[in-house]
A and B are shown apart, each in its own frame.
Chain A
Amino acid sequence: MRGLSRRFGSFVAVDDLSFSVKQGEIFGFLGANGAGKSTTIRMLCGLLRPSSGTALVGGIDVSRDPEGVKRRIGYMSQKFSLYEALTVDQNIRFFGGIYGLSQERLEARRSFVLDMSGLTGRGHTLTRELPGGWRQRLALGCAILHEPSIVFLDEPTGGVDPLSRRRFWDLIGELSRQGVTVLVTTHYLDEAEHCHRIAIIQAGKLAAMGTASELKQVFASRPILEVHAGKPVEAMDFLDHHEAVEKTSLFGTAVHAVLRSDAVQPDAIKRSLEAQGITVHSIGLVSPSLEDVFLDVVERVGAA
């Protein structure tokens, strides 16, 4: 994919994006809402025409042969778009039908999907009666009925309980081991850790890309201090003006402060906090999470 752009009127949703994804890779897209993740995926699926640039999906040019692309990919969106008034079986048959599967192949794939989504024996259940996690796995099953080599998942885990999300990522890992390339967008940053590589998109531009540990390298010489204090907001306010602190952010009830160098002693910070009358329950260096990376990247791009 090279120099891919999409404009809506004067609004540039995706601006000159270039990257490539290897076969069997799980590639994650991170970005705030409206950053251009979905637009990028829709272009790659042949649903939207790129305004400029080219994208090869499975070796096929998206703007030349969108139908050819559609035959080779699977797509699932956050809405898990199944027909809720139909049974599990009827949904599978419908999607098998529009993908042009033969009768025998459909039978084989049907039992595979039922097995994969843990719905064996429940083929006659109405889809609307299924809990979210099952529906989500069924939607994934319907999206890969035709055994595509590339699967696009647009925020596939929205509104699903943590256990189901876990099982879903196990399925994605399974697909990847079978050689299926998976492109996934998410805004659960903990999920992004499952990805082999991650691209952070901000305002339609590629802000950072690499493996999770590569991305965390931006904090190599800038340790992160996690502070649990009695008055987190005041603590944050104080740390913001501290000479050793680059910036702060709130993580639940804790404050993360990015230090300017690894020479700074946490104990010194603690003392200065206590000098302000702020009780410090605990203070210590933590390894950066993807959320730290994401916030850092987004901030830097936003400031530039």
Chain B
Amino acid sequence: MRKIIAVGTKELRQILRDKRTLLILLFIPAFFLLLYGYALNFDIRNVSLVVRDQDRSTKSRELVSAFVNSGYFNLVGYLDSDREIDRLINEGRVRTVLTIPSGLERRLALRQPVIVQVIIDGDNANTASVVMGYARALIGEYSAAQTGSRESGAGSPVQIAGTVPQISVEPRVWYNPQLRSTLFLVPGLIAYIAMITAVVSTALSVVREKERGTMEQVRMAPISPLPYIIGKTLPYLAISFVSALMIIFSAMLLFELPMRGSWWLLCGSIGLFLVGAQAQGLLISTIAQTQQVAFQVALLSSLLPTMILSGFIFPISSMPAVVQAITHIVPARYFIVALRSIVLKGTDITAFWQDLVALAIFATVALGLASVRLRREWS
């Protein structure tokens, strides 16, 4: 026990002495949160829109204001001819063109179907499909309003080109009603940042001792690997833990992240996840001989899977079966599910205990492998 404290104190002093590393460990996460929170936003707003209104009637103006008032579109101007459309889109000055044919008001009055054209710049498929969704919903709403006010059962009189809505969907989104992607991303960000700091800092701190030769000096002392490793990793566990909580607090402050579940469960999940991440870092430290190699392996093995294979950004359900199978060994996958459940939904442990078990299994296996390799290296 005294030896663990001796190692832990030494490690902590080293970290404190190395102000740069400490700053990186504590503040880079918050910085990441700001960067990702504001920049990594899948909501699309302020889509530039020009209108080619050939009807110039009350009804057509109603449709335009429906677009503008939605908050998603930003009306840039009106067009008098079709000739300019190409140029505007090609120059990237406009993303969307709404063309209202003449006779809209007249045909609506006669309850005849009208076709409205929406042209969307498809250079970014993601954005285009989101904008398409907005446009469809707006026109659907508008057309429903028209028929509703006339109590007509004739279906939607105004249609977007090429689509005939047969079934009307009434979406209702729970837990994150505005569908703000930031809220959805924060749990993933915590996983992402905690993973990197825990894996990288643990791997580096052990390999640094190997490189400097202090490891050999310590091995000459009557101390077995276990207390040494516990003493060495505890300070990093504490720091990663603090930085994970800091991300949560700043997300609550900056992005109105709700914290609906229990803090105990939250801390428990974070702890479990961090222990697994540190075990992964230890495992890397037993393989790498230089800090450079350790850093690269640690970064690659923590950053890429957490970013791509955890459901942080890309939904797992839309991956090919093989890739889906691989995601089962990415701890962040389970951690994100647990975090989203706790933070956004406030569900109790029955909803995600399997994910915690998976995290525990990952931590145990990684610790086991790391200790086997360490023991071999130690003696």
Q: Pick out which of these stretches binds chain A: B2-10, B125-133, B183-191, B298-306.
A: B2-10
A45 within 8 A of B: yes
A99 within 8 A of B: yes
Provide the B211-236 mask, 1 if CB < 8 A to any CB of A, else 0. 01110111111111000100000000
Instruction: Report yes or no: B14 in contact with A98, Cβ–Cβ below 8 A.
Output: no
A168 within 8 A of B: no
Instruction: Report yes or no: B222 in contact with A67, Cβ–Cβ below 8 A.
Output: yes
Distance in angstroms between the alpha carbons of A94 and B13 in the assembled complex: 10
A133 within 8 A of B: no
A interface, by DSSP: helix, strand, loop or mixed? mixed
Instruction: Report yes or no: A83 in contact with B3, Cβ–Cβ below 8 A.
Output: no
Provide the A33-49 mask, 1 if CB < 8 A to any CB of B, else 0. 00000000000010101
A96 within 8 A of B: yes
Instruction: Report yes or no: A86 in contact with B13, Cβ–Cβ below 8 A.
Output: yes
B318 within 8 A of A: no
Distance in angstroms between the alpha carbons of A228 and B3 in the assembled complex: 60
**Smallest beta-carbon distance B24→chain A, Å:** 15
Whether A97 contacts B3 in the complex (CB less than 8 A), given A67-B222, A70-B222, comes out as: yes
Distance in angstroms between the alpha carbons of A76 and B222 in the assembled complex: 14
Instruction: Report yes or no: B223 in contact with A98, Cβ–Cβ below 8 A.
Output: yes
Contacts of A67 in B (CB 8 A): 222, 224
Instruction: Report yes or no: A81 in contact with B224, Cβ–Cβ below 8 A.
Output: no
Contacts of B214 in A (CB 8 A): 81-83
Distance in angstroms between the alpha carbons of A40 and B147 in the assembled complex: 95
Contacts of A47 in B (CB 8 A): 216, 219-220
**Smallest beta-carbon distance B228→chain A, Å:** 8
Provide the A54-92 mask, 1 if CB < 8 A to any CB of B, else 0. 000000000000110011010111010111111000100
Instruction: Report yes or no: B5 in contact with A90, Cβ–Cβ below 8 A.
Output: no
Distance in angstroms between the alpha carbons of A210 and B212 in the assembled complex: 35
Contacts of B178 in A (CB 8 A): none
B172 within 8 A of A: no
Q: Which residues of A in the span 97-153 have a Cβ within 8 Å of any Cβ on B?
A: 97-100, 126, 143
Instruction: Report yes or no: A100 in contact with B3, Cβ–Cβ below 8 A.
Output: yes
Distance in angstroms between the alpha carbons of A263 and B186 in the assembled complex: 93
Q: Which residues of A in the span 186-216 have a Cβ within 8 Å of any Cβ on B?
A: none
Distance in angstroms between the alpha carbons of A75 and B213 in the assembled complex: 12
B18 within 8 A of A: yes
Instruction: Report yes or no: B216 in contact with A81, Cβ–Cβ below 8 A.
Output: yes
A93 within 8 A of B: yes
Instruction: Report yes or no: B221 in contact with A99, Cβ–Cβ below 8 A.
Output: yes
Q: Which of A66, A70, A81, A93 contacts B212 (CB 8 A)?
A: A81
**Smallest beta-carbon distance B320→chain A, Å:** 44
A238 within 8 A of B: no
Given A49-B379, A75-B217, A86-B17, 17 more A-B residue pairs with CB atoms under 8 Å apart are A66-B379, A70-B220, A70-B221, A70-B222, A77-B213, A77-B217, A81-B214, A83-B14, A86-B10, A95-B221, A98-B6, A98-B7, A98-B218, A98-B228, A99-B222, A100-B222, A126-B17
Q: What are some 15 contacts across the A-B interface (CB < 8 A)?
A: A47-B216, A70-B220, A70-B222, A79-B213, A81-B214, A85-B13, A85-B17, A90-B13, A94-B7, A95-B221, A97-B5, A98-B6, A98-B222, A99-B221, A99-B222
